[in-house]
């Protein structure tokens, strides 16, 4: 769409500070880091095409998340206001993590229970001699 400009996203200084911390994190889940970078670029007015190129994602991904952010910016500001009112700003990063996380997706339920998986894996954690093998270690042959 030539000439289309995505709407600007207004964020507070505190939210920008938290997003910058998330975007620079090496321990945060990758989806939160990506979404933080995307939201920061959207707030700076960067185009969807350039954002997609810089972040290495499709323009469709950028547009999907920009739309989500645009529709829910008020929610971010309400979360911040609630934390200010309750004088508990330490809760804001946790709330923002849930806001930036991928939502659960539909899919096939697991075939095996955790107990069944543990039963299958248990022999690998034991000595092969316990099972009558003359090996000192398990191997692929």
Please give the average per-residue pLDDT across 67-83, as a whole number: 85
Whether residue 3 has pLDDT greater than 60: no
Pair of tokens at residue 68? 């989500």
> Which residues 6+ apart lie within 8 Å of 67 measured at CB?
none
pLDDT value at residue 2: 59
Rounded Cα distance, 123 and 113, in Å: 17
pLDDT tens digits along 13-61: 988 999 999 999 999 999 999 999 999 998 898 888 999 999 999 999 9
Band of pLDDT at residue 4, cut at 50, 70 and 90:
low
pLDDT tens digits along 89-111: 888 888 889 888 887 778 888 78
Please give the average per-residue pLDDT across 56-79, as a whole number: 88
Q: Are 32 and 19 in contact (CB under 8 A)?
A: no
pLDDT value at residue 73: 82
Question: Closest by alpha carbon to 83, among 92, 75, 74?
Answer: 92
Rounded Cα distance, 59 and 10, in Å: 21
Residue 118 Cα distances to 14, 73, 121, 125, angstroms? 45, 44, 5, 10
Q: 124 or 13: whose pLDDT is higher?
A: 13
Q: Are 63 and 48 in contact (CB under 8 A)?
A: yes
């Amino acid at each position: 769409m030539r000439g289309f400009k995505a709407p600007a996203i207004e964020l507070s200084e505190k939210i920008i500070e938290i997003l910058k911390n998330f975007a620079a994190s090496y321990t945060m889940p990758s989806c939160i880091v990506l979404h933080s970078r995307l939201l920061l670029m959207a707030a700076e007015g960067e185009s969807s095409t350039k954002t997609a190129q810089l972040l290495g994602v499709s323009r469709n991904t950028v547009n999907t998340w920009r739309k989500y952010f645009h529709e829910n910016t008020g929610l971010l500001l309400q979360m911040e206001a609630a934390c200010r009112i309750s004088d508990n700003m330490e809760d804001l990063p946790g709330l923002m993590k849930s806001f930036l996380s991928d939502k659960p997706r539909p899919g096939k339920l697991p075939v095996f229970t955790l107990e069944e998986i543990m039963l299958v894996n248990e022999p690998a954690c034991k000595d092969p001699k316990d099972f009558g093998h003359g090996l000192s270690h398990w191997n692929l042959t």
